[in-house]
A and B are shown apart, each in its own frame.
Chain A
Amino acid sequence: MATVQVKRRELSFGERIYLPEVLRGLKVTTRQLFKNMFTKKDIATVQYPEVRKEYPDRFRGRHRLMKREDGSVRCVACMLCSTACPAKCIHIVAGDKGDQSVEKYPVSFEIDLLVCIYCGFCEEACPCDAIRMDSGRHPLPSFTRDRQRIRKIQLLEDGGPSIAVQGGKGT
């Protein structure tokens, strides 16, 4: 027999006539009411537009593209992120950078945020720390779908310099 018979606790007389329990309940709510009227200690509400909660460190927000020390984009247009992307939302057009050690750079780099599922595979796939999702920002609302397809310029707005050495050496 896999059935477990849960033994219910017998209600005492005071609990069965309901009134003492009613008064106890009223005591709790009244105490809470006056406490919250005079102090803000227990109030859980965050006044959103004025006060914002800190996101956890690993929150995956809007993507950003990192920069080299000279300010150019770190991305080498290797297509690993767009290959790894399960939603197929990353569209890269590669171009010749004219630099033997880097070879390519993205002529255009577009992410369709309406298609993106924020899985973080792109930042895991990236070999040169070029794309990251740690901006801590939400994708903003817009009136057209086209505005949700963000370009390289917008992706670089949040981008800071990355100190990782190309080719995986260093940190």
Chain B
Amino acid sequence: MSFGEVLLWGLLKFAAIVLGFVMVVATLLTLLERKQSAYLQNRVGPNRAFLFGKKFPLSAFIGQILADAVKMLVKEDFDPPRANTWLHRLAPALPLFAALMVWMVIPFGPGPKPGTEGEHWFQIANLDVGILWVLAISSIGVYGATLGAWASNSAFSLLGGLRTAAQMISYEVTIGLNMVGLFMIFGSLKLNDIVWGQGELLWGWLPKWGIVVQPLGFVLFVAAAVAEIKRAPFDLPEDESVLAGGYSTEYSAMRFALFALGEFIGIVIMSALASVLFLGGWQIPWVATPLLADGSIDYGWLTVMQVGAMVIKTMFMVFLLQQIRWTFPRFRYDQLMRLGWVYMLPLSIANLAITALVMFLLR
């Protein structure tokens, strides 16, 4: 393909993934978060904004989402006095930018088997660095929170921003180290190759998913992922009862909503990553991926089901992260740092060492 075609297809796929999946899920999350938390706390949640009365099912859902959007757009957009206006306005865009760029490398459906040539129809770019792109880009998100906090000219915001920086750096280490175990087992950084590797069966019946070969890695990854997207029980950066909202204290209207949107997309990203790395991605267990005789893929109904499997796994992870967020109380700040550096980091390294040892013995 020429460069122009690559660019065109990339943009088309980006629009399809972002507008067709990511934004839809993130928008739904704004409502589902409140509904889910309400139900698990024996409350009802928002149920007043109806679209055209109660004429059709889900009119309360859609009405609430539209009402939220209108509210966010028409509220006063406040610039705090003596804040650095330019940085203050730039900051909310950075986490959103980072959150959207990560989708470049997430495979939603089968690409060609490793070692064979073919088009990657369900992935925007099959980069050689693969997962490193995710780590590199998602680190930009921390600048958004920290810059916004510093530019706000508010002590609460500054404390929140400092906490964000410290927390993201601490837990990114754990996330990265837990991914290394998978690179060692599947021998590639490309997410597509990792998903292909997870299609095999261990001893003829157990799917070789990341969660099966790296159970401790999965637990540590989920815990670190929750910390990375700044959700409870690791939501120290916004800590509303202590810091009055943390780094987003001085934000209002749509700019606050951009921070929130970046956070919600972060949830979907971490869920998609967890399902790609640990839950087999688009692989349906015990259903062999059909390959034609020449090694290329037969795109058909099975492919549709595989994309569906990826979406379902991602949604399950979103559900799990939300459940965790509404179940556990917030950590204290020293507990957070101790958990990250004293327990989770050594455990990740031990996990790596054991993985290496087992791989050496099974060689």
Q: How far is the CA of A45 from the CA of B46 in the complex (A)?
A: 12
A22 within 8 A of B: yes
Q: How many residues of B contact A (CB 8 A)?
A: 13
Interface contact A42-B42, CB-CB below 8 Å: yes
A12 within 8 A of B: no
Interface contact A37-B39, CB-CB below 8 Å: yes
A36 within 8 A of B: yes
Known contacts A19-B219, A26-B323, A29-B323, A36 near B328 by CB under 8 Å: no
Known contacts A19-B219, A25-B327, A26-B324, A33 near B43 by CB under 8 Å: no
Known contacts A19-B219, A42-B42, A44-B43, A33 near B36 by CB under 8 Å: yes
A122–chain B nearest beta-carbon distance, Å = 39
Q: How far is the CA of A44 from the CA of B41 in the complex (A)?
A: 9
B326 within 8 A of A: yes
Interface contact A25-B44, CB-CB below 8 Å: no
B 301-326 to A, binary, CB cutoff 8 A, 1 in contact else 0: 00000000000000000000001101
Indicate the member of B36, B39, B43 with the most A CB atoms within 10 Å.
B39
Interface contact A45-B219, CB-CB below 8 Å: no
Interface contact A30-B40, CB-CB below 8 Å: yes
Q: How far is the CA of A112 from the CA of B328 in the complex (A)?
A: 49
- Which of chain A's residues have a CB closer than 8 A to the CB of B41? 32
B 158-190 to A, binary, CB cutoff 8 A, 1 in contact else 0: 000000000000000000000000000000000
Q: How far is the CA of A28 from the CA of B219 in the complex (A)?
A: 19
- Which of chain B's residues have a CB closer than 8 A to the CB of A32? 39-42
Indicate the member of A33, A44, A47 with the most B CB atoms within 10 Å.
A33
B38–chain A nearest beta-carbon distance, Å = 8
B 219-238 to A, binary, CB cutoff 8 A, 1 in contact else 0: 10000000000000000000
Interface contact B44-A30, CB-CB below 8 Å: no
Interface contact A22-B42, CB-CB below 8 Å: no
Interface contact A36-B40, CB-CB below 8 Å: yes
Q: How far is the CA of A165 from the CA of B219 in the complex (A)?
A: 78
Interface contact A44-B42, CB-CB below 8 Å: yes
Q: How many residues of A contact B (CB 8 A)?
A: 16
Interface contact A43-B43, CB-CB below 8 Å: yes
Contact of B326 among A22, A29, A43 (CB under 8 A): A29
Known contacts A25-B327, A25-B328, A43 near B44 by CB under 8 Å: yes
- Which of chain A's residues have a CB closer than 8 A to the CB of B327? 25-26, 28-29
B 90-106 to A, binary, CB cutoff 8 A, 1 in contact else 0: 00000000000000000
Interface contact A33-B328, CB-CB below 8 Å: no
Known contacts A22-B328, A29-B327, A47 near B40 by CB under 8 Å: no
- Which of chain A's residues have a CB closer than 8 A to the CB of B323? 26, 29-30, 33
Q: How far is the CA of A47 from the CA of B41 in the complex (A)?
A: 16
Interface contact B219-A36, CB-CB below 8 Å: no
- Which of chain B's residues have a CB closer than 8 A to the CB of A22? 324, 328
Known contacts A19-B219, A26-B323, A26-B327, A45 near B43 by CB under 8 Å: yes
Interface contact A47-B44, CB-CB below 8 Å: yes
A37–chain B nearest beta-carbon distance, Å = 6
A-B contact pairs, 26 of them (CB 8 A): A22-B324, A22-B328, A25-B327, A25-B328, A26-B323, A26-B324, A26-B327, A28-B327, A29-B40, A29-B323, A29-B327, A30-B323, A32-B41, A33-B36, A33-B39, A33-B323, A36-B39, A36-B40, A36-B42, A37-B39, A43-B42, A43-B43, A44-B43, A45-B43, A45-B44, A47-B44
- By a beta-carbon cutoff of 8 Å, the part of chain A in contact with chain B is 19, 22, 25-26, 28-30, 32-33, 36-37, 42-45, 47
Give 5 closest A-B pairs by Cβ, nearest first. A36-B39, A33-B40, A29-B40, A29-B327, A45-B44
- By a beta-carbon cutoff of 8 Å, the part of chain B in contact with chain A is 36, 39-44, 219, 323-324, 326-328
Taking A22-B328, A26-B327, A43-B42 as known contacts, 20 extra A-B pairs with beta carbons closer than 8 A to each other, sorted by chain A number, are A19-B219, A25-B328, A26-B324, A29-B40, A29-B323, A29-B327, A30-B323, A32-B39, A32-B40, A32-B41, A32-B42, A33-B36, A33-B40, A33-B323, A36-B39, A36-B40, A37-B39, A42-B42, A45-B44, A47-B44
